[in-house]
Amino acid sequence: MSSFILGIVISAALGGVGYVFLSKRKGSEVDYKEDSPAVASASLGEPEEITEKPLRSEKVPNTAANERTALASQQLLREAKNRAKEILLEAKDGALKIVGEAEKGARKVKDRSADLEKELAIKEVKIESQREGIKNKEDSLERLREVISKKKDATENLYEEQKKKLQQVSSLTREEAREVLLKRFDKELIEEKAKKIRLMEKELKETSEEKSQEILLEALIHGSTDYVVEHTTSKVKLDDPDMKGRIIGKEGRNIMTFEKLAGVELDLDASPGEIVVSCFDSVRREIGKIALERLIADGRIQPARIEDIIRQTQKDISHTIYKEGDKLCHMLGIYDLPKEIIQTLGKFKYRFSYGQSMIKHTLEVTNIGVVLARKLGADVETVKLSCLLHDVGKVLIDGTGSHVDVGAAYLQENHIPGEVIVCVREHHGDKYSSIESAIVSLADHISGARPGARSEDYESFIKRMLDLEEAATSFDGVEKAYAISSGREVRVFVKPEIVDDASTALLAREIARKIELEQTYPGVVNVTVIRETRKTETAQ
C-alpha cells in the first residue's frame, strides 16, 4: 500500500516537470512531446540523466541564433531537472507522513480493538461468576426446601406424638397431669435458669456497693433520737430582795427603759430571789441578762445608766460572737469564710436547739458527717462545710419561712458553693439529690438535734413572734415593737414627735385589729403602746 501511494506521488511530480519544460519551449521551432524518451523515463521512476543533444530543425538559417537557443534549452532542462529532484524529495516526505499517519491510525484501531476484547473478556468473567452465584443460590434454596420439608415432617410426627401423650394424660388426675407438665418444663428451662442466675450474680456484684450504702443509710435513719424543750428564758439571781424595787424604778421608769432598749421581758414575780429574762431571740436575751447583771453590780439603776450599759453590752456580745464563730471554724479546720458568716456562726453560743447547745450540736454533726463521708466515699469537704452551716438559719430571725429556707437563702447571698446550699436545703427532707445531702441529714438525726416529725414546732413559734412584731412596726410612727410573754403581749414604742397621747389608743386598737385579721394565735394578745417624751439640756 505504501509503495503504491509513493509511485502515484512521483508520477504526478514528473508529469509536472514535463509540463514546465514544454511551457518554456513555447514559441520555439522545435516541437517536443510528452512521450519523449526523457519524459517517459521520468514517469517510470528516477529521471534519467538528460544528455545535451543538438536540436533538429529543418532549417538552420542562423548558426549563432541556434546556438543561443540550444544553450537556453539546456539551461531550462537543467532547471527542470533540479525542480524535479525537489518535487521528488517533497513527494517522498509527504508520502512518509501519510504512511506514518496511516500506521498511527492503524495502531489506534488495533489498541482500541484490544481494549474492547479485554472488556469483553471481563464481562464474560462477570457473567460467568453471576451464573455460578445463581447456581449456588439455587442449590441453597433446594437444600433449604429439603430442610423445611424434613422439619415439617418432624413437626407432624411430634404433633402426632403429643396427641397420643395427651390421650394418655387424659386418663390421669389433675395433680398427676400437673406434675408431668412441671417435670417437662423443668428439664427445658434448666439452661435458661442457669443463664438468669449468672446474669443476676453479675448485676449483684455491680450494685453491691450501692446497695450497701443504701442499707447503711437506711439503718442510720433509725438512729435518730427525740428532742427536749427549747430554752427561751434566762435567770438572774438577786442577793438583795430590795433590788427588785430599784430595778422597777419610780412609776416603772427603769424597767420600761430596760425592756425597751434590750428588747426583752423581765419577770420579777417568778421567784423571790431571781429575775427571769424572757425573749425568743437568744442574742437579745443574753444581752439583757448580762446587762442586768452589770447593772445590779454597778448599783446605779437609772435610765441614762441603763442605756450606757446596754450599749456597751451589745458591743461586747458582738465581739464575743465573732470570737466564738472563728473558734468554731478553727476547731473544724474550715477557713476563708466571709466575716459575716463567721459572725452569724458565733451566735450559736447563745442558741440552744431543743436543750442542746448549738455549738456542741454543730461540732457533733460535723464530726459524724466527716466519718460517714470517708466511709462512703463522698466529698468530705462538702459534707464538712454543709454540716457546719446546716442550722445557720436558726439564728437568722429576719427571714421568713423555715430555718432551712432562711439558711439556704442567706448562704446563697454570701456566695457559698451550690452543692453546700443543696445539702443545707435538703437536710430536713426525705429525698436527696446526692449522697452528701443524705449524709448531712443523717448526721443531724444521729446527733439527736431534730427528728423530722416535730421539726417545725419551734420555728413556728419564732415565725409567730416575728409576725407579731412586723404587724406592729408596719404602722407609721412606731419606733420599736417587741413580742413578749410567748406572744401573749406586744409592746410598741412610738416616736413622740409623730404620735401624740390622743393617737396612742387609736394606734393600739388598729394594731390589735390587724393581728386579729391576719394572724392565728392561741388565747389573746395584748397590745401595749408606750409613748415616752425625753428632753435633754446641757449646763455650761
* DSSP annotation of 237: E
**Rounded Cα distance, 292 and 244, in Å:** 11
pLDDT at residue 432, rounded to an integer: 85
pLDDT of residue 20: 42
Between 56 and 72, where is the model more confident? 72
Domains and CATH numbers, the chain: 2-52+64-129 (no CATH), 233-455 (1.10.3210), 460-531 (3.30.300.20)
Read off the pLDDT band of 353 (50, 70, 90). low
| Terminal alpha carbon distance of the chain | 152
Alpha helices (H) along 170-281: 174-188, 190-221, 243-248, 253-262
Residues ≥6 apart with Cβ < 8 Å to 91: 6, 9, 10, 12, 13
Q: What is the mean pLDDT of the chain?
A: 77
392 pLDDT higher than 80: yes
Find the mean pLDDT for residues 51-72. 64
The pLDDT of residue 492 is above 50: yes
Mean pLDDT of 392-407: 79
List the grid coordinates of 318.
458582738
Concatenating the DSSP letter of every residue in 487-513 gives GTEEEEEE-TTTS-HHHHHHHHHHHHH
DSSP 416-441: --HHHHHHHHHTTSS--SSHHHHHHH
Give mean pLDDT, residues 316-334.
89
Whole-number pLDDT of residue 309: 92
What is the pTM for the complete model shown?
Answer: 0.45
DSSP-assigned beta bridge partners for residue 531: 494
Does 437 score more than 60 pLDDT?
Answer: yes
- pLDDT number for residue 17: 43
The pLDDT value given to residue 428: 80
Average pLDDT over every residue of 209-217 = 61
Using pLDDT thresholds of 50, 70 and 90, give the confidence band for residue 50: very low
Please check the confidence at residue 10 and state whether its pLDDT lies above 80: no
Q: To which H or E segment does residue 236 belong? A: strand 233-237
For residue range 140-195, list pLDDT tens digits in order. Answer: 888 888 889 888 888 888 888 877 777 665 666 667 767 777 777 666 666 676 67
**Percentage of the chain surpassing pLDDT 70?**
74
Reply yes or no on whether the pLDDT at 450 is more than 70.
Answer: no
| pLDDT computed for residue 355 by the predictor | 60
